[in-house]
Amino acid sequence: MKPNSHEEHKRHAFDSFCKKILRNEARDHYDEMKRQRDREVSFSELLAQEMDMLFLMDKYPSEQFNFSVLGHEVAIESEIIAQAIAALPEEKRDIILLAYFLDMTDGEIGAMLNLVRRTVQYKRTSSLQELKKFMEGNVNE
C-alpha cells in the first residue's frame, strides 16, 4: 500500500480536479445564460416608443419647404403646414415663422419689424386662427 500512496493521492487529486473544472464551467454557463436573460428583450416586448428609437428616417432637402424670413432660412417638413403658411400674407407669415420656428418673443419680433408688441401678438393670434381655418378646410376636402 505504501508505495502506491502517491498514485492513490494523484488519482483522488485528478478526480477532484476534473470535477472542479466541470462544475465551474457549468456554473459559468448558467451565469452567462442568466446575464443574457437579464439583458435580452424580444422585439415583440419592446414598447412602441423603444421601437421608434431603432431606426432613423433620412431627411431630404427636396422634401422640405423652405421659407426665408429676415435672412433666416426655415425648413418645414409637413406639407400641410407649409401650404397653410404659404397661404398667409407676407407679414403674418413672417411673424408666425419668427415666433414658432425661431422661438422669438413678441417683443423681439416687434423690435425687428418696427411694430408694437401688442400688434405682434394680435397678428400672431389672428394668423393662428387663419392657419387653423385653412388647415381644417384642407382636411375636410
Q: Which residues bind another protein (CB under 8 A)?
A: 1, 7-8, 10-15, 17-19, 21-23, 25-26, 29
Contact (CB, 8 A) for 30 and 47: no
> Strands 65-69, 72-76: parallel, antiparallel or unpaired by DSSP?
antiparallel
Judged by beta carbon, residue 19 or residue 133, the one nearer another protein is 19
All residues at 6 or more sequence positions from 106 whose CB lies less than 8 Å from its CB, including other chains: 99, 117, 120, 121, 124
CA–CA separation, 78 vs 83, rounded Å?
Answer: 9
- Shortest distance in whole angstroms from residue 78 CB to another protein: 49
Nearest distance from residue 62's CB to another protein, in Å? Answer: 52
Q: Judged by CB, which is closer to another protein: 35, or 133?
A: 35
Question: What is the smallest separation between the CB atom of 10 and another protein, expressed in angstroms?
Answer: 6
